[in-house]
């Protein structure tokens, strides 16, 4: 029984065929190896919907922030313990950043959706806020609750 495979006119050992497949699976699942729970957050002019998001310690989560407003908006979370952060901004330029970058940050221009994927490492309740001038003060905030994993 022959174990080589024909790849591009040449034979390749089965192990070489498995490496790209395993790499694709690892990218799709993130560094933690588990699929992420996807949470949708809508950014309107001066409001987020919903205003409460929930995640679990040790479980990957991806927040997809869809900007349905007329100007750029962002999502910021300070003080949260996280690992494996992957953020994909969806801005067309001109978006400023907070003076001190928070643990989580992602921005989206009007009509765009930005994502931030991460694994929370400690439980707690954290404020989610927009850094556009005056938005946080006007109430563009939400809460991210990170709960302990159930045993």
For 25-58, write each residue's pLDDT tens digit. Answer: 333 444 456 799 999 999 999 999 999 999 999 9
Domain with CATH 2.60.40.420 in the chain: 37-147
Query: What is the SS3 assignment for 79?
Result: coil
Digit-coded pLDDT (tens) for 82-97: 999 999 988 876 566 6
pTM listed for this prediction? 0.75
- CATH architecture assigned to 37-147: Sandwich (2.60)
Between the two ends of the chain, the Cα-to-Cα distance in Å is 47
**Among 49, 147, 62, 65, which residue's Cα sits nearest to residue 106?**
65
The 10s digit of each residue's pLDDT in 116-131 is 999 999 999 999 999 9
């Amino acid at each position: 029984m022959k174990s080589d495979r024909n790849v591009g006119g040449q034979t390749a050992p089965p192990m070489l065929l498995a490496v790209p497949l395993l790499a694709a699976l690892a990218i799709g699942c993130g560094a933690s190896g588990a699929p992420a729970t996807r949470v949708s957050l809508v950014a309107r002019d001066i409001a987020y919907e919903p205003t409460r998001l929930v995640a679990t310690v040790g479980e990957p989560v991806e927040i997809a922030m869809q900007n349905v407003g007329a100007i750029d908006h962002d999502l910021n979370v300070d003080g949260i313990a996280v690992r494996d952060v992957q953020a994909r901004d969806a801005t067309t330029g001109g978006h400023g950043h907070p003076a001190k970058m928070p643990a989580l940050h992602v921005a989206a221009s009007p009509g765009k959706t930005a994502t931030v994927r991460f694994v929370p490492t400690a439980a707690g309740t954290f404020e989610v806020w927009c850094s556009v001038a005056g938005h946080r003060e006007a109430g563009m905030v939400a809460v991210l609750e990170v709960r302990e994993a159930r045993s």
